[in-house]
Amino acid sequence: MSKKFCFCTLAVGNRYRTHARMLASDIQKHSPATSLIVLTDQPHDFEEYPHVIACKHRLQSVKGYHDKRFVLEKSLKLFDTCMYLDSDVRILGSVPEDIEWLPGITARTGCKILKHNAGMNQRQALPVIKKVAQKLDIDLEKTQWFHEFMFAVKKQDGAEVEFLKLWQTISYFFEMQGIYDGEGNVMGLAAVLAGLTVQFDSGDKFPFFKDNIEQVRIKKGQSQLKDKQIYFDIHKKIEYPEYPIWRKVINKLIGKAVFLYRLFRLRTFARQDLGF
């Protein structure tokens, strides 16, 4: 196993574990010398994969989006570089063994944070972004947003450690304002404040499938639906399992209760955070 680079993901809950096991199989097939670190509520689900380092994890953020920072923290303790992948990403072909990563964050997709949040769908976050920038003296013109489904982090003289600390603090502020997702904004703010370099590389290092990315490719004529239909079907089956009505009602009630508990717990976490 390579000690320089690993893949990593978050897989809490049956749906995400099912996705992550498929990702683990893909890596075993296409990059067998590469470890996959998985933070999950059921580590024993990955016992059949010798290249998987499965670590017990309980979600800390309100809706789980900001728990990606714990995945990176664990991975960078063991490896010089890690690539975070959403658990529902599929790797479809060989992964080169000699990929060279620059220090800091290398994201596949991104832009200036102000540009990303200028659209109608993102305007809820913009006032919060400006408040954080004013409070922490962040120049938003120098701040990047990047898509969080796939990005690599390479150690950069300790800046990555400060980045993770700031991510936690800033995420608390966003969540206290009722914004529980959009971690790409929080990571961008934390990175510029920590001095962690953010660069973009739109060239795919290996062939992969991600449902929303593939839909864009198909619209642009860069991919054919008939070639990827099987992956869409598998993804849909995992995302929308057929449960009886009573099970759906119970799941919804449990989800609501868990959300309220995490929201209550957020206030305790925020008070304990010295930066916040």
**Cβ atoms of residues 168 and 69 within 8 Å:** yes
- Paired tokens of 174: 């966003």
Does some domain include residue 118?
Answer: no
- How far apart are the C-alpha atoms of 200 and 219, rounded to whole Å? 23
pLDDT at 271 over 90: no
Does some domain include residue 68?
Answer: yes
Does some domain include residue 64?
Answer: yes
Reported confidence tier of residue 222, pLDDT bands at 50, 70, 90? very high
Nearest CA among 157, 147, 135 for reference residue 275: 135
Does some domain include residue 100?
Answer: no
- Paired tokens of 12: 């809490």
CA angle 37, 41, 45 (to 5 degrees): 70
Identify the helix (H) or strand (E) that includes residue 166: helix 159-176
Residue 268 DSSP class:
H
Sign of the Cα pseudo-torsion (207, 111, 37, 251, in order): negative
Reported confidence tier of residue 122, pLDDT bands at 50, 70, 90? low
Reported confidence tier of residue 97, pLDDT bands at 50, 70, 90? confident
> Residues 6 or more apart from 176 whose CB is under 8 A from it?
266, 267, 270
Which SS3 state, helix, strand or coil, does residue 9 take? strand
- Paired tokens of 171: 């995420």
CATH code: domain of residue 55: 3.90.550.10
User: Residue written as tokens 């978050």?
Assistant: 10
What per-residue confidence (pLDDT) applies to 226?
A: 94
Strand-pair category, 208-209 with 90-91: antiparallel
- Paired tokens of 88: 């529902």
Nearest CA among 100, 93, 95 for reference residue 31: 95
Average pLDDT, the chain: 93
Does some domain include residue 34?
Answer: yes
Domain that holds residue 36: 1-92
Please indicate, yes or no, whether the overall pTM of this predicted structure exceeds 0.75. yes
pLDDT tens figures, 29-76: 999 999 999 999 999 999 999 999 999 999 999 999 999 999 999 999
Does some domain include residue 4?
Answer: yes
pLDDT at 120 over 70: no
> Residues 6 or more apart from 256 whose CB is under 8 A from it?
none
pLDDT at 1 over 60: no
Nearest CA among 220, 196, 200, 223 for reference residue 210: 223
In the chain, what are the helix, strand and coil shares in percent, each to the nearest 5? 50, 15, 35
Q: What mean pLDDT is predicted for residues 232-248?
A: 90
CB atoms within 10 A of CB 13: 16
- Paired tokens of 228: 């990827």
Does some domain include residue 182?
Answer: no
What per-residue confidence (pLDDT) applies to 121?
A: 64
Q: What mean pLDDT is predicted for residues 12-33?
A: 97
- How far apart are the C-alpha atoms of 26 and 1, rounded to whole Å? 16
> Residues 6 or more apart from 156 whose CB is under 8 A from it?
103, 104, 196, 197
What per-residue confidence (pLDDT) applies to 265?
A: 86
Does some domain include residue 105?
Answer: no
Number of domains within the chain: 1
Reported confidence tier of residue 234, pLDDT bands at 50, 70, 90? very high
Residue 149 DSSP class:
T
